[in-house]
């Protein structure tokens, strides 16, 4: 049975004891309501480390004032059972007051990578993400931390934060896990009614159209973006937040895909299906080879 702790001191001491014993530690930061995507991260961590810690914390400072913090799905007993089934060794499940005291006033922020994509419509989001992840890295001094590619901008931001701040941890990106019909696994999928759930398939379908153009040799980002937007526009319940192609190295807009600095282009979309905002993406590698 895994250890469940809501206290920073107790959690830190347990992980330090593992390190003293020579164990490697993998960390999977989550906001709970775990699904197959989270499970894949835990399994990757289990495979590559002696001990696995999972944090379950709905982080209030990464939500905007009109976002879904209060209604974000929570089911700790279900989450704990999933963690146990994978063989997780430690669940860190703090309350907000444990993470952020009344006089909390220190944040981690970044220029550049956080300005595009989700950073445009959620201007304080990544400051909240970086701050909580930085705290988790200090509370749980793991060897590796695991993040899903579904939140590709977040993955890029955390990698850069760890590099820029000389954090002694390896950031591991893991593939998007999808439902059988192609919808990316997300805790927010539970918000969708039956009609909206069907409409949400337009996200993956539109990305597939973008991939077809790239496979056909198209390198003009505007042309690919137009095809994706046209496909999404065919679904009456869908409203585009953004469709963007960016250089994955620094999350900056790119015109010609062949110009990607490290040969990787991120095609990312955010779409409202009814009131639910969903994201999806693909990363195309090998440009400039």
Taking only the tens place, the pLDDT of each residue in 224-279 is 999 999 999 999 999 999 999 999 999 999 999 999 999 999 999 999 999 999 99
Determine the average pLDDT of the residues in 125-152.
98
> Looking at residue 14, what is its pLDDT?
97
Contact present, 260 and 247 (Cβ < 8 Å): yes
**Residues known to be catalytic:** 38
Contact present, 128 and 39 (Cβ < 8 Å): no
Whether 288 has a pLDDT exceeding 80, the answer reads no
Give the containing element (helix H, strand E) for 152: helix 152-164
Comparing C-alpha atoms, which of 236, 232, 218 is closest to residue 268?
Answer: 232
Percent of the chain scoring above 90 in pLDDT: 98
Q: 1 falls in which pLDDT band (50, 70, 90)? A: low
Q: 85 falls in which pLDDT band (50, 70, 90)? A: very high
Q: 286 falls in which pLDDT band (50, 70, 90)? A: confident
> Looking at residue 2, what is its pLDDT?
79
Backbone phi and psi for residue 156, each to the nearest 5 degrees, phi listed first: -65, -40
The model's pTM is: 0.96
Classified as helix, coil or strand, 155 is helix
Contact present, 136 and 167 (Cβ < 8 Å): no
DSSP state of 115: S
Determine the average pLDDT of the residues in 53-72.
97
Q: 21 falls in which pLDDT band (50, 70, 90)? A: very high
What beta strand segments (E) does 86-202 contain?
A: 90-92, 144-148, 170-174
């Amino acid at each position: 049975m895994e250890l469940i702790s809501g206290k920073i001191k107790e959690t830190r001491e347990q992980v330090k004891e593992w390190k003293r014993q020579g164990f490697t530690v993998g960390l999977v930061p989550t906001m709970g309501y775990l699904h197959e995507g989270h499970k894949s991260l835990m399994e990757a961590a289990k495979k590559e480390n002696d001990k696995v810690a999972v944090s379950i914390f709905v982080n209030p400072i990464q939500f905007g004032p009109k976002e879904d913090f209060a209604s974000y799905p929570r089911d700790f007993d279900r989450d704990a059972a999933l963690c146990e089934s994978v063989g997780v060794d430690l669940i860190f499940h703090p309350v907000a007051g444990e993470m952020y005291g009344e006089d909390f006033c220190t944040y981690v922020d970044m220029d550049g990578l956080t300005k595009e994509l989700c950073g445009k419509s959620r201007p304080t989001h990544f400051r909240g993400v970086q701050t909580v992840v930085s705290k988790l890295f200090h509370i749980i001094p793991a060897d590796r931390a695991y993040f899903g590619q579904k939140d590709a901008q977040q993955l890029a931001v955390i990698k850069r934060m760890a590099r820029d701040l000389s954090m002694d941890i390896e950031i591991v990106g893991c593939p998007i896990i999808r439902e059988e019909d192609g919808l990316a696994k997300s805790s927010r999928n539970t918000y969708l009614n039956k009609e909206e759930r069907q409409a949400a398939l337009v996200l993956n379908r539109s990305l597939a159209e973008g991939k077809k153009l790239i496979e056909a040799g198209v390198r003009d980002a505007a042309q690919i973006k137009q095809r994706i937007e046209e496909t999404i526009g065919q679904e009456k319940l869908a409203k585009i937040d953004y469709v963007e192609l960016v250089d994955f190295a620094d999350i900056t807009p790119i015109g010609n895909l062949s110009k990607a600095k490290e040969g990787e282009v991120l095609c990312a979309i955010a779409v409202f299906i009814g009131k639910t905002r969903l994201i999806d993406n693909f990363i195309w590698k090998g440009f400039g080879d």
